[in-house]
Amino acid sequence: MTPANTALACENLTVPGRLTEISAALRPGELTAICGPNGAGKTTLLRALAGLEGAALEKGSVSLGQTPLAAMDPRLRAQAIGYLAQHAEPAWNLTVAALVRLGRLPHRTSRADDDAAASAALAALGCAHLAERGIHTLSGGERARVLLARVLAGEPGWILADEPLASLDLGHAAALLRHFRALADQGTGVVLVVHSLAHAMNHADRVIVLDKGRLAADGPPQTALSEEVIEHVWGVKAQWTGPAGARALSL
């Protein structure tokens, strides 16, 4: 993966009815989790960070390094930021190899280079054996990993994924989280929308908590997901139990 040398930052980001004055500077090499109740604006924030909310922004901006995303060539932006949408149901029954190669679209490199990058991405996620299968014939878990392989094939400096663990069983979710951790350790900026607060607490370096479109907390998981914050944002009295790195939330 190409290391992300540049920070991804948003300032006073406002999308009418969805986000209000969100500012955050995300650092490469960190695994950042975005948490919050349903309708808090998590997906909107992720889309804005990926440069996909351009027309909807009322004010504020998102920058990669010193360059505002709105001023970037969409192809260069796509090379730098890989985005995994929440519901990306492929319309056609593409082979897995062809689908993963789509991640190379912004690069305009040779077919051999694209094939090599797609194979490496599939191998990294343990999906090499699925390469010739049709995407519609895969199980939910296999499909989720293949769709993520599509993002990895683009070798982006930043990976922004909207609930990538949603359709995965415990084992595959744990494997994917380990993979995201490894990517972050190699210098890639990883930003995930996650619903499981335990996943965020145990695996993220930093947690951004949104509530009704506003920033409710931002910092290391221990403080951003404290029991007080959870009670305030989710309205639930909960208690963290267990040792660091394997904490569980008891209601």
Partner 1 sequence: MTRPVSLLILALAIAVPLSLLAGQVWLNPFAPQAANAFTILAELRAPRAALALVIGAGLGGAGAAMQGYLRNPLADPGLFGVAPTAAFGAVLSLALGLGGLLPLAALAGAALAMAALALIAGNASGQNSATLFALAGLMLASLSGALTSLVISLAPNPFALSEIVTWLMGSLESRSWHDVLVAAPSTALGLLLLARAAPALDALTLGEETARSLGVNPVRLLWLMVLGTGLVVGAGVAAAGIIGFVGLVVPHLLRPFTDQRPSSLILPSALGGALLLLLADCLCRLLPLAGGELRIGIALSLIGAPFFLRLLLRLRSELA
Q: Which residues bind partner 1 (CB under 8 A)?
A: 47, 50-52, 55, 73-79, 81-83, 85, 87-95, 98-99, 102-103, 105-106, 134, 147, 150, 154
Closest distance to partner 1 from the beta carbon of 36 (Å) = 20
For the CB of residue 108, give the shortest distance to partner 1 in the complex, in Å: 9
Here the tokens at position 245 are 């790195």
Give the closest residue to 26 by CA, choosing from 176, 203, 216, 218: 218
Q: With contact defined as beta carbons under 8 Å apart, do 82 and 151 qualify? A: yes
> Which of 216, 223, 222, 220 shows the shortest CA–CA distance to 206?
220
Q: Please, what is the minimum distance in Å from the beta carbon of residue 73 to partner 1?
A: 8
Helices of type H across the chain: 42-49, 74-80, 96-101, 111-124, 140-153, 170-185, 197-203, 221-224, 227-234
Any idea which residue has 């149901």 for tokens? 89
Q: Quick one: 134 or 141, whose CB is closer to partner 1?
A: 134
Measured from the CB atom, is 92 or 235 closer to partner 1? Answer: 92
Query: CB 63 → partner 1: shortest distance, Å?
Result: 17
Closer Cβ to partner 1, 41 or 221, answer by number? 41
For residues 96 and 216, which CB has a smaller minimum distance to partner 1 in the complex? Answer: 96
